[in-house]
């Protein structure tokens, strides 16, 4: 009878130990799941931020490309205008030289 009680107490102690381990494991598992969910939320937010940044950069690139095209066009126009002014200045100088030569010839 005492041997049976001793075994019963030993079995109960073993069951209590296993229950404690199970509870600790369950607690650790819940904590790990919560950390995993938090990491997934952080990852989702980081992805959203990266996508937003990508869209912003693409929009900015489009604006910069349009600005560059406009600047190139304006530069081409300015160069053409400058060449025309240089040609006119050269023609005026030649005309002045001819007029000066004509005046000296008279």
pLDDT digits (tens, 9 = 90+) for 33-48: 999 999 999 999 999 9
Q: How far apart are the first and last CA of the chain?
A: 154
Closest CA to 19 of 3, 11, 34: 11
Distance of alpha carbon 48 from alpha carbon 44, whole angstroms: 6
% pLDDT > 90, the chain: 93
Structural Rg of the chain based on CA atoms: 45
pLDDT of 55 reads: 97
Question: Residues 50-63: pLDDT tens digits?
Answer: 999 999 999 999 99
């Amino acid at each position: 009878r005492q041997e049976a009680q001793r075994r019963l107490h030993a079995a109960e102690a073993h069951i209590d130990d296993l229950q404690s381990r199970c509870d600790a494991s369950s607690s650790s598992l819940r904590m790990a799941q919560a950390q995993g969910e938090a990491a997934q939320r952080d990852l989702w937010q980081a992805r959203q931020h990266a996508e937003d940044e990508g869209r912003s950069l693409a929009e900015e690139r489009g604006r910069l490309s349009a600005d560059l095209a406009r600047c190139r066009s304006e530069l081409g126009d300015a160069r053409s205008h400058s060449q025309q002014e240089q040609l006119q200045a050269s023609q005026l100088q030649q005309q002045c030289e001819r007029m000066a030569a004509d005046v000296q010839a008279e």
